[in-house]
Structure 1
Amino acid sequence: MKTKTAYTILVAWVISVIPLTWLGYGSDGDAWRIANTAKAISVTGQYVRSRTTGFPLFELSVTPLVNLGQWYLSNLLPFVFGIIILMALIRLVRKGEIHHPKITVFSLMFLPVVVKNATSTMDYIPALALLIWAYVSLLERKWVLAGLFIGIACGFRPTSGLFVIPVAILSYLETRKPIQAIQILLIAFISGVISYSPALLKYGMPNPYPGIQLDQQITILITGYNALRLFGIVQTLALGVCFSIIVRQVLVRKNVTPFFIFHFSNILVWISLFLLLPEEPEYLMPIIPSVIFILDRYLSKRVFVFISVLLLSYHTFQVDALGGQSGDRYIKVAFRAGLTVQDIQDRIFKLSIREAADQYVTSTKTILMYGYPEIPAANDRWVIRNIKNDMYCQRDGNLCISSRILDENRLEILHSEGFRLIVWRGEMWEYYRTGTSLPNYIEVIEDLSVFFGTPISGKALNQQ
């Protein structure tokens, strides 16, 4: 790839992507939790995890950025790591590892899920960038560096350590020396423990499973649906056809190369983990480079261009199979806005309700069981009232925001204290899924604009 072409792609990516960094911390609620955690770390001077396992290197890295410039600065950290991914791809191109440079680089950098997470205060892109550089180092036979990159990635996302499996396999296939694989494993383990140590020392071994357990049928549906959301339903089906043809050709021609083994083992590793933890499509992001590199290596240029266009179309429109509304879902095929359009709409929505809640005035003590974490996250107008229920209240008002409260005794106490308890019909899934009934003293509101008394812009993800 010529230097001019590389700069052109870089400029195009920066110009088209950076405006999204201005739209709040992201559409993922965890991005707002990270911002809230950054505030807590700043106030207490101690490490605090944002969720589940903890993601210490990312949480600590964004803390000064959140406190100095909110999302305008914190979103730039994943954005910069996106550029670091581009640098790794250019390195692979110049090493001759990529056969269709322009298509491959463009497809990966502008992939909707990459754009979404490169502009949000989330840890997926930093971890992915480090894993791609571990792959580059592996191809350059820089074993120590490959292990270090994997270990450091564990500080951003602890599951990144699984990347050592395909890396160790490839190092052995390339050298036929077990010592190289063992060296990488040891370096990745030691550096990974050090990188993850802030969370490990404070919280011990983590439990990655969510607090709300769903029945098996719902879990299977969530697993399948979230897996399809990574690339899009139609796009995933097209990829499935391509991969079945590629695998057949490789086996028929008996051309099972180390390249093929590495990337397919990487895909299998992350799919296996996803079957255990299917909460978010982004959990599958480490397979993205392998998917794109396999397409580049085995597809003709014409077919690769077609697949690339199909993958990028997920920005603007998609075929969806999700019908009903939050808490009452069923399969219904329909055309909807694409991932990026939905992401923008939801981010605008979050900023809009945040502003509306800041300005809301009521003489009645009120708890809205919606709007956490985006409303109080790193927001000085709100103070914490009950950390167990994620309840925050206006510093100078009567409105409180909380996550859904499922404990009926807790609801009874709040009701007896004179609180007006409210849930939004658009976000009642936890009550449906757990079978928890709503007491008759809880109000269900249909329209947040009516509740806040001001127009709410954008649209929540579960309403699109």
Structure 2
Amino acid sequence: MEHAPAQRNSRYPWLIPVAVLCLLPLCFLGYGSDNDTYGVLQFGAQTWRMHVLATSRNPGYWTYEAVVYALSSLGGSLLSNLGSLAVSCVALWRFLRIAQRLRVGHPVLMAACFVVTPVVVIAATSTMDYMWSLLCLVLAAEGLFDDRPVQAALLGGLAISFRGANAVLVAGGYAAAIGYEIYRRRGLSAGAVKTAISGIAAAVLGCSVYVLSYRLAHNTLAFMAPMTGPASLWTWKGYLGRFLYKGMYAIGPLAMVVSAYAAAVYPWRQRREPDSEHAKLMAISAGFFLSNVALFLKFPIEVSYLIPGIFFFLLLAGATIFQERRWLGFALFAAIGSLNLVTPVFAQPNIPGLATSARLHIALNAGTLSADVKTRRMFLGCEDAICWIARDQMGHH
């Protein structure tokens, strides 16, 4: 089904090259600032160069460690980071194609909002697995959109092999696809059964790589234990506080305000009834988004965990609350982009990184990207976790 206005607006070949030109310089700043990056480098080399089975952390990051070992062996941090940038560009291209199908009013503007999101900028220019797994999730979603069960199973399984937690998102997308099919057919149908079988295949394919983790854990399920730190951090207040406060910085507090205003003024009652294809795409996108939010509620640790949710939120919001008023889209773009340069904070933890409580504290800190660039410079030249720990300790003295 074609929708000429959305199709016309989505043809902006300059967006991806401009994004590459803006992000490319960051790829020259070493592997990145995240300690997990250096664990991936160290244990990937141990597995593939020294042939001693090892992984950086639970539940096992075997697929990404193999990818990073291959890229870094051929071209060091630059090639590894360019790999992240390349898959990010493909994800951006798919964003525009999905936006066309969802009849997003201003697809390029919504795509630009995704590009300038701080956690996306950092993940797209560092040696991190987030954008690799995002692309797999997006391609799996498109398989569900188009009733291509083999594509959905293969890419969903690959997403799970990159990040075990992606199983929750894949399950959310499949549940939405099956639920919509049952709702549309008013009962169980062959299409719903076919999708369910595809989901089982995705789970089997994705989980097969974790046989290595099972063997490494002496044939136990110890590898499934989450690495979340001391239990004292995870009271119900700790969960809720981290979920709300950290989740706010997925797109930033100003962007949250803009989105809330857009939702308040959107004419929900006048919205025309969607056709079956549009409704299906919206339902599956919502399934991926809501499952990511649910996962973050369970593990509110890194804001980067919400990158898939940001992707699908911007698509859903672009098809609804940001559908008509272009100025609201520009306001959202400015609000998200400003978070790279300056970060408004509203709380101060009692122990940074290990907080059990916090007090009200309003201030303006360095932006997320600005702070990350400063930290990345500190780790230039590091290629393993030992170097990262040593530099990190030097930086705190």
What's the TM-score bracket when you normalise by the shorter of the two chains? 0.7 to 0.9
Aligned to 1:334: 363
Aligned to 2:200: 189
Residue of structure 2 aligned with 1:32, choices 14, 38, 62: 38
- For the 8 Å contact 2:343–2:365, the answer to whether it is kept is yes
- For the 8 Å contact 2:44–2:69, the answer to whether it is kept is yes
Q: What are the superposed Cα offsets for residues 106-131 of structure 1, whole Å, 9 maximum, x if unpaired?
A: 22233222111011111111111111
Q: Write the mapping of 1:322-401 to structure 2, written as runs, cut at 5 A.
A: 322-323=347-348, 326=352, 330-351=359-380, 373=385, 375-376=386-387, 401=390
User: Structure 1 residues 171 and 195, CA, compared in 2 at 3 Å: closer, same or farther?
Assistant: closer
Aligned to 1:125: 131
Q: Which has the larger radius of gyration?
A: 1
Structure 1 position 132, deviation (Å): 1.4
Structure 1 position 96, deviation (Å): 6.1
- For the 8 Å contact 2:116–2:337, the answer to whether it is kept is yes
Structure 1 position 16, deviation (Å): 0.9
Structure 1 position 47, deviation (Å): 4.3
Q: Does structure 1 residue 11 correspond to structure 2 residue 17?
A: yes
User: Structure 1 residues 243 and 330, CA, compared in 2 at 3 Å: closer, same or farther?
Assistant: same
- The residue type paired with residue 339 of structure 1 is T
- Give distance in 2, aligned partners of 1:322 and 1:284: 21
Structure 1 position 274, deviation (Å): 1.3
User: Structure 1 residues 70 and 199, CA, compared in 2 at 3 Å: closer, same or farther?
Assistant: farther
Q: What are the superposed Cα offsets for residues 20-56 of structure 1, whole Å, 9 maximum, x if unpaired?
A: 1121221221112111122212333254221121122
Structure 2 residues without counterparts, runs of 5 or longer:
1-6, 215-219
Relative contact order, higher structure (CA 8 A, sep 6+):
2
TM-score (norm 1): 0.70
Aligned to 1:180: 191
- For the 8 Å contact 1:76–1:119, the answer to whether it is kept is yes
TM-score (norm 2): 0.80
Partner SS, residue 70 of structure 1:
helix
Aligned to 2:157: 151
- Give distance in 1, aligned partners of 2:27 and 2:146: 34
Residue of structure 1 aligned with 2:67, choices 57, 61, 64: 61
RMSD, aligned α-carbons: 3.2
> Between Structure 1 and Structure 2, how many residues are aligned?
366
Q: Does structure 1 residue 272 correspond to structure 2 residue 294?
A: yes
Structure 1 residues without counterparts, runs of 5 or longer:
356-371, 378-389, 391-400, 404-422, 427-446, 448-464
Residue identity over aligned pairs, in percent, reads 22
Residue of structure 1 aligned with 2:55, choices 40, 46, 49: 49
Structure 1 position 155, deviation (Å): 0.8
Structure in which a larger fraction of residues adopt strand: 1
- For the 8 Å contact 1:263–1:294, the answer to whether it is kept is yes
- The residue type paired with residue 117 of structure 2 is L
- Give distance in 2, aligned partners of 1:33 and 1:188: 31
User: Structure 1 residues 184 and 279, CA, compared in 2 at 3 Å: closer, same or farther?
Assistant: same
Aligned to 1:141: 147
Structure 1 position 292, deviation (Å): 0.5
Structure 1 position 12, deviation (Å): 0.7
Structure in which a larger fraction of residues adopt helix: 2
- Give distance in 2, aligned partners of 1:37 and 1:219: 30
Aligned to 2:173: 166
Aligned to 2:346: 321
- The residue type paired with residue 318 of structure 1 is T
